[in-house]
Amino acid sequence: MKKSNTEEDLQFFLNAIEKPIAVINLQGILLKANQTFTDVFGVNEEDCIEQIVTGQSLETWKNILQRTIHEKKVNCELQMVFFKVETYTVDMSLRFDETTEKVIIYMYLPYELMHLPQYNMNNLPTKLEELMIICDANGRIQNVGGLARKYFSQSKEKLLQYSVEQILSLFPEHSLDLEVLRREVDEMGYMETVQKYIHATGHVRYYKIAAIKDHITNLYLIKIKDQTKETIVQQQLAHKDSLLEVGQLAASVAHEIRNPITTLKGFTQLLKVTAEEETLKYLNVIEDEIHRMEEILSEMLNLSKPTVRNKKIISVNGLIKNIVRIIHPKATLENKKIIQNYERNFEMCLVGEEGRLKQVFLNLLKNSLESMHPGGTLSIFTQKCEGNFVNIIIKDTGKGIDEQNLNQIFMPYFTTRPDGTGLGLPFVLKTVEDHEGTVSVSSEVGKGTSFILTFPLIEQNYAIHKETVKEIVG
Ligand SMILES: Nc1ncnc2c1ncn2[C@@H]1O[C@H](COP(=O)(O)OP(=O)(O)OP(=O)(O)O)[C@@H](O)[C@H]1O
Ligand SMILES: [Mg+2]
């Protein structure tokens, strides 16, 4: 299992042993306190510090407060009541801030108290940005804090009835169990892993699970944090690497293959001139196949071209209408309906390479048509969104993509079609990213698929004369 973000985990440790800090006014009323302070003393803002000082120390406390106001800075010890029942003598530092007329109290908790289970482990802060679970070596959960409902769609009370083993079994890949977790923590001091989680609604999230052990109480502290955004970025970067490899490979072999293909094509055409009807049939098949080889080659080469070249200002709606015009006859022939709905309030323009962008939409529309039976509907929308971006949505009522394939469709050569190259979507992703855009997909098996492309638009006042735009998009 991967270990990283030591800093973050260190911070996580520090938070866990945070010392109590409070700000009070000159009457000893609590104005502000950190989580540890409110947890260990069970007090809230506007309570009086006198409530948590033992009876016999009350006079001492009043003296300390007066001394602090005069001397500005006092270090002392005081007998206090923790968790509303336990009495301990604690060292504390007090500072008087003249400008705000407030006193800051900083406490050093006695060793025994810091290691009481209820302080160190069981008193989880209530406001947590993640989910924390405390359990013993057998996986029996002692306490849960934080976003139980958000992470597992369960209340804290419900999770408390689970064992850690049961919680870990909720992750579909089953690569982590209590035994692995305990072994890693015992050997390495801590453990960290990212696991996939699927919500009941079908939403896929990625959770980082980190665990440490408190050697005095022998309890394990498990922190679960949503890491979906970071994981997806990492996956996209991994795709980029594989695209780069395909590109390099393509560049090196394309040249070698192009020449013999040209020769084959030339001779086939020559043979066709004199061929008899029967031979002509086979020669036509050879020619079609050569044509397909050329197409594959040029798609591979497209992947290897790194940046946007021949940039132009392009009208988004114009570009898409043009592509729809190209595929309309095919759709009609196959009895598939096309619905179009364009943003009309803005003239949306982007800067890009028209040829490649056309190819992007052709690929997507072709995929959608291929996924649908006759009677299916393909919808194309454009809509301007906040921050000067455009969303282009291509939605079909096709067969959909199951979750396992959904993770692979942008990988070069991934295809489920017998005559597919699997280079269509990698080209789409690369081209969109070259144009500073993003692609997202959602799909439901048996219902259909939606691709959403988002591109940055050029500023309105740059949205040049419509005539020029028309000319550019033909
Ligand atoms: N709209 C869609 N609906 C269902 N599946 C899709 C859709 N778009 C893509 N896919 C899936 O993604 C795979 C990869 O698509 P991609 O366009 O990269 O290659 P291909 O369509 O198989 O081949 P090619 O584009 O070269 O003809 C397809 O084989 C198909 O399984
Ligand atoms: Mg395709």
Residue-wise pLDDT tens digits, 349-403: 999 988 889 889 989 999 999 999 999 999 999 999 888 899 999 999 999 999 8
Within the chain, all domains assigned CATH 1.10.287 are found at 236-304
Domain 20-108 has CATH 3.30.450.20: yes
Query: Residue 442 Cα, ligand 2 centroid: separation in angstroms?
Result: 16
Within the chain, all domains assigned CATH 3.30.450.20 are found at 20-108, 131-226
Pairing of strands 337-341, 377-385: parallel
Query: Residue 194 Cα, ligand 1 centroid: separation in angstroms?
Result: 29
131-226: CATH topology is Beta-Lactamase (3.30.450)
Using alpha carbons, select from 107, 111, 91 the residue that is nearest to residue 38: 107
Q: Rounded mean pLDDT of 442-450?
A: 95
Query: Residue 224 Cα, ligand 1 centroid: separation in angstroms?
Result: 35
Phi/psi for 199 (5° steps) reads -70, 160
Q: Pick the ligand that lies closest to the CA of residue 295.
A: 1
Within the chain, all domains assigned CATH 3.30.565.10 are found at 312-473
Using alpha carbons, select from 212, 274, 253, 255 the residue that is nearest to residue 9: 212
**Beta bridge pairs of residue 213:** 220
Among the four given CATH numbers 1.10.287, 1.10.357, 1.20.140, 3.30.160, the one describing domain 236-304 = 1.10.287
Identify the residue with better confidence: 351 or 17: 351
Is the CB of 409 within 6 Å of ligand 1?
yes
Closest atom of ligand 1 relative to the 400 alpha carbon: 4
**Beta bridge pairs of residue 89:** 79
312-473: CATH topology is Heat Shock Protein 90 (3.30.565)
Check residue 306 and give its pLDDT.
Answer: 56
pLDDT tens-digit map of 26-70: 999 988 877 778 777 888 878 899 989 988 899 999 999 999 999
Residue 413 CB neighbours (<10 A): 12
What is the 8-class DSSP label of residue 163? B
Check residue 425 and give its pLDDT.
Answer: 92
Residue 282, CA atoms < 13 Å, CB-side half-sphere: 5
